[in-house]
Structure 1
Amino acid sequence: MLKNLIVLAGSACAASAGAQSSITVFGVVDAGVSHYETKSATYGVANSLNPSTVKQSQNVLSPSGLSSSRLGFRGTEDLGGGLAASFWLEAPLSNDTGGGVANFGRRSTLSLNGPFGEVRMGRDYTASFWNDAVFDPMTVNGVGTNLIAVVNSNIAASRALATGGLLNGGLSAGTDSYLRTSNSIGYFLPSNLGGFYGQVQYAFPENIKGLPATAAATTGQRGRYVGTRGGWASGAFDVALGYGESTVADTSTYKEVIKTINLGASYDFGVAKLFGELSRVKDDMQRLPGATNPRVNDRYNAAMFGVTVPVGVGLFRMSYANVKFDSGANMPVSPYAPNADASTSKIALSYVHNLSKRTALYASVARMRMRDAHNNPTVMGVTPLVLSLPAIFPQPSYITTGGFEPKSAMGYDFGIRHAF
């Protein structure tokens, strides 16, 4: 299928050479050996009855330890008068299993560009995601991925699954309405504003109106995303503020909106480049008139800082991040559960050795620690390290209060990446 697509793209390029200003086939193939390891321990009554620990590990051939493996096609047509039309189709690749192009879930957009800026339509990155990526020394890939990004991805995935199934076509090539969103229309400022840049974005929920109120997955504003990002870059300095709202549930009695705000910055001193980000995510769960349960607001407050240091043809990378979960559920306090909150921290180190402009060797290692993760194991537990690692924690049948909770995790990547 991949060969046929490349041949088709080449034929289309030849057939439309007179109309296209440019067309490009591009991609990345990344392959590495990865190891993931987690440790869990008993808590609550389980710890008093039979204290014990559980260790899990997994070795894999991973496809995206440094950069996400992908295949893409992009092109531009000059329309005259400063106007241009462009397209971008980008598909994920699973080169570890030979998986071909199943969809263009990474990006699928059509744009109109001009002196006014750019109007972009289709499936695209969300405005509120960009700061998590741009200001991450690890470029949101591999075991060192920005903890803010992976926790946010876990929030979006767990809430979408809990409130009526996957959003906007599923979790293809990233969690929908956090990392990417479908059915979107966006506007980007032109690039000649003295370093200022920005965008606004809206994604249509595309639900059918008039269905019974119990059809939670297809009514209301579920699937709607609205976001914006603005910043300023000049020389070595870059700073940006992002905001987004994703509606994951909307019925006659219940509405849930995930609200994200983040501020990121970087400064390149030449001998080293510093990165930093502050983030707050609010899971706003509101019971509408007629419901008996109260409104709940869970909050995730996060901070990350990092640095990259060029050394010859290589690059050292380091980051540290902490995410604190503040529960809005007002859970009862007991000797075994003194609070309903949780926290996760992560430190990551990496070295990239560039063999050429397109090919690089890399090695990364990361370690996480969790506190009170039983209060929110799906988001604050093991899964922030790597989404593919099963979060399976045995719970003995005789335990009625307490069980196993994730305590720590580590992982490493060794691999090679080639871009074309």
Structure 2
Amino acid sequence: METRLNKTAAMLLMCGAAAAQAQTSVTLYGIVDAAVVGESGGSAGHVAKVTSGAASASRIGFRGTEDLGNGLAAIFTLETGTRIDTGEVDAAGAIFNRQAFVGLKGRFGTVAIGRQFTPYHTTLVNVVDPFGTSYAGRAGNLFPDSGTNVRTSNTITYAMPRSRGIDAELAYSAGEQADSSAGRQFGGAIGYTAGPLAVRLAYNSKNSDVAASAGTAAIDRSQGRNLLLGASYQLGRIRLHAGYGVDKGDNSAPLANAGNPYGGVKPTASTDGRELLLGFSAPAGPGNLMFSAMHKDDRTGFDQDAGAWGVAYLVPLSKRTGVYGAYGHVRNRNGAGYTVGNNTESGSGSTGYNLGLRHTF
């Protein structure tokens, strides 16, 4: 009798362990992307190199979820960027520099805390830019898609579940300085999807003040703000993309290459500007063709406008592997300093091309 009870207890323990294991999952995922990149038009002359992440930043990530019951789940993501050309981590002094957050997901939506993408950036990626902010033709050549406009640390986010085609997200990033307003950033986005149409409006507000510390005076700057309206529409086999951005205030539109890529008088980042993008993506032959044209209207006294265009072609070799080619060009006016970059680099000149291979797992 005792032996039977012991066997029954053991079986129940095994079933319980199996059930617990079934309710928890951890996924290892990543992207391996390497390309030959060429750049020209800057003071560095023609630059040719092998680089990592021209289409998508190479990365290794862990994504997990645990079922807590009653429709509630715990989630987490830990994602680090890697450089395929050298084998190094792509951000010195950081391990999970791309994303690192934990949260809860339920019928109410999703709440997460940690290092995360901004609603402004996700709007560019998912709606506005046919390149998804990748390749030489990316929107970030003229739109302010760099630094903390892309992702922020110390961030709390909330995303509501889509209802009747409407969804929204909010984000707040603490500056964690003696003055609680210094360095903080917040934003949000609201979108509507119905059939072939997707429309999204994003807002970003950034405080670039630096609080006073021992022996150092406070630095006060104007509030930087970004407003971005984007739309995409599936017209037959072609997906049309459009975006309009408004930037006001200090550090609202930092130059992707903050150095002096063209020599001479250093360009000044716009504190009052507008951006317009029109583009499309469509199947063509064995692959997918992407194109966009952009204009930057600098409304400051410097009048440093720019125009840009880009084209890319991606050919899938399998569900996970593809080869790509891309070309981008920027025309600067009145000493503007915009460069042709790619998904992981800001670029060094007015023209750039990418020839690469990408594998996902």
Q: Could you say whether these structures have the same fold, taking a TM-score greater than 0.5 normalized by the shorter chain as the test?
A: yes
Kindly provide the CA deviation profile for residues 192-218 of structure 1, in whole angstroms up to 9, marking residues without a partner as x.
x111110111111111x3xxxxxxxxx
Task: Name the counterpart of 1:303.
Answer: 276
Aligned residue identity for 2:271: D
Aligned residue identity for 2:298: F
Aligned residue identity for 1:274: L
State which of 55, 74, 85 in structure 1 corresponds to 2:63: 74
- Relative to 1, partners in 2 of residues 1:124 and 1:253: Cα closer, same or farther, differing over 3 Å? closer
State which of 55, 59, 65 in structure 1 corresponds to 2:54: 65
Structure 1 runs of 4+ aligned residues shifted over 3 Å read: 14-17, 250-253, 382-391
Q: TM-score, normalised by structure 1?
A: 0.70
Aligned pairs, number: 316
The gaps in structure 2 that reach 5 residues or longer are 1-16, 212-217, 252-269
Answer yes or no: is the 8 Å Cα contact 2:340–2:352 preserved in 1: no
Q: TM-score, normalised by structure 2?
A: 0.81
- Relative to 1, partners in 2 of residues 1:384 and 1:220: Cα closer, same or farther, differing over 3 Å? farther
Aligned residue identity for 2:129: D
Kindly provide the CA deviation profile for residues 165-204 of structure 1, in whole angstroms up to 9, marking residues without a partner as x.
xxxxxxxxxx1x210000011111013x111110111111
The gaps in structure 1 that reach 5 residues or longer are 1-13, 40-53, 155-174, 210-218, 286-296, 328-338, 374-379, 392-407
In 1, Cα distance between equivalents of 2:197 and 2:238: 13
Alignment of 1:4-19 (within 5 A): 18=21
Answer yes or no: is the 8 Å Cα contact 1:38–1:382 preserved in 2: no
State which of 188, 194, 211 in structure 2 corresponds to 1:234: 194
Answer yes or no: is the 8 Å Cα contact 1:147–1:321 preserved in 2: no
Kindly provide the CA deviation profile for residues 297-325 of structure 1, in whole angstroms up to 9, marking residues without a partner as x.
92120000110111243101101111121
Answer yes or no: is the 8 Å Cα contact 1:147–1:323 preserved in 2: no
Task: Name the counterpart of 1:277.
Answer: 243
Residues 1:179 and 2:150 are matched in the alignment: yes
In 1, Cα distance between equivalents of 2:140 and 2:358: 22
Residues 1:103 and 2:95 are matched in the alignment: yes
- Relative to 1, partners in 2 of residues 1:350 and 1:87: Cα closer, same or farther, differing over 3 Å? same
Answer yes or no: is the 8 Å Cα contact 2:38–2:352 preserved in 1: yes
Residues 1:199 and 2:169 are matched in the alignment: yes
Answer yes or no: is the 8 Å Cα contact 2:330–2:339 preserved in 1: no
Alignment of 1:47-62 (within 5 A): 56-62=45-51
Residues 1:188 and 2:159 are matched in the alignment: yes
Answer yes or no: is the 8 Å Cα contact 1:28–1:67 preserved in 2: yes
Answer yes or no: is the 8 Å Cα contact 1:264–1:278 preserved in 2: yes
Kindly provide the CA deviation profile for residues 390-413 of structure 1, in whole angstroms up to 9, marking residues without a partner as x.
76xxxxxxxxxxxxxxxx711100
- Relative to 1, partners in 2 of residues 1:15 and 1:410: Cα closer, same or farther, differing over 3 Å? farther
Alignment of 1:83-162 (within 5 A): 83-100=72-89, 102-134=94-126, 135-147=128-140, 151-153=143-145
In 1, Cα distance between equivalents of 2:345 and 2:41: 13
Aligned residue identity for 1:270: G
SS at match of 2:131: coil
SS at match of 2:149: coil
Q: Shift of residue 222 of structure 1?
A: 2.5
In 2, Cα distance between equivalents of 1:350 and 1:245: 32
Aligned residue identity for 1:98: G
Q: Shift of residue 60 of structure 1?
A: 1.2
Alignment of 1:187-266 (within 5 A): 187-191=158-162, 193-207=163-177, 209=178, 219=179, 221-251=181-211, 254-266=220-232
Kindly provide the CA deviation profile for residues 230-276 of structure 1, in whole angstroms up to 9, marking residues without a partner as x.
00112211000000101112455723321000000001123110000
SS at match of 2:47: strand
Answer yes or no: is the 8 Å Cα contact 1:147–1:322 preserved in 2: no
